[in-house]
Amino acid sequence: MAVACAPTAPPATIAGYKPPAMFAGFLSPQAARTGCIDAVARYYKVAREDVAPTSDQQSMQDGFYVVTLSAAGQARPVNCTVDDNGNVSGVVPAPR
């Protein structure tokens, strides 16, 4: 006998908390990632096309993200701190 379970959607909120929407696997909005790509391209003097976001995470403060990017010619990834609007507050090599 085969038993199938119908998939259920997760709740919209969990105890009143609504998780941020995911955009193409990222928590940060496109404007934030674009701001980081521009900042890393300027910092390392590479073309924008040679910089790609690999992951991100939301900070403890709403509206701020740490985006990890890879830049051509760089052995270590780069962390970029940015807000929802793409205003970058820091670009540093990621810890090993």
Tens-place pLDDT, residues 59-93: 877 789 999 999 998 999 999 999 989 999 999 99
pTM of the predicted model as reported, rounded to 2 decimal places: 0.73
Q: What's the rounded Cα separation, in Å, for the pair 86 and 56? A: 14
Task: Give which of 51, 77, 75, 50 is closest to 66, Cα–Cα.
Answer: 77
Tell me the per-residue pLDDT of 8-57, one tens digit each, with 9 for 90 and over. Answer: 665 555 566 565 555 567 888 889 999 999 999 999 999 999 999 999 99
Task: Give which of 62, 71, 72, 51 is closest to 29, Cα–Cα.
Answer: 62
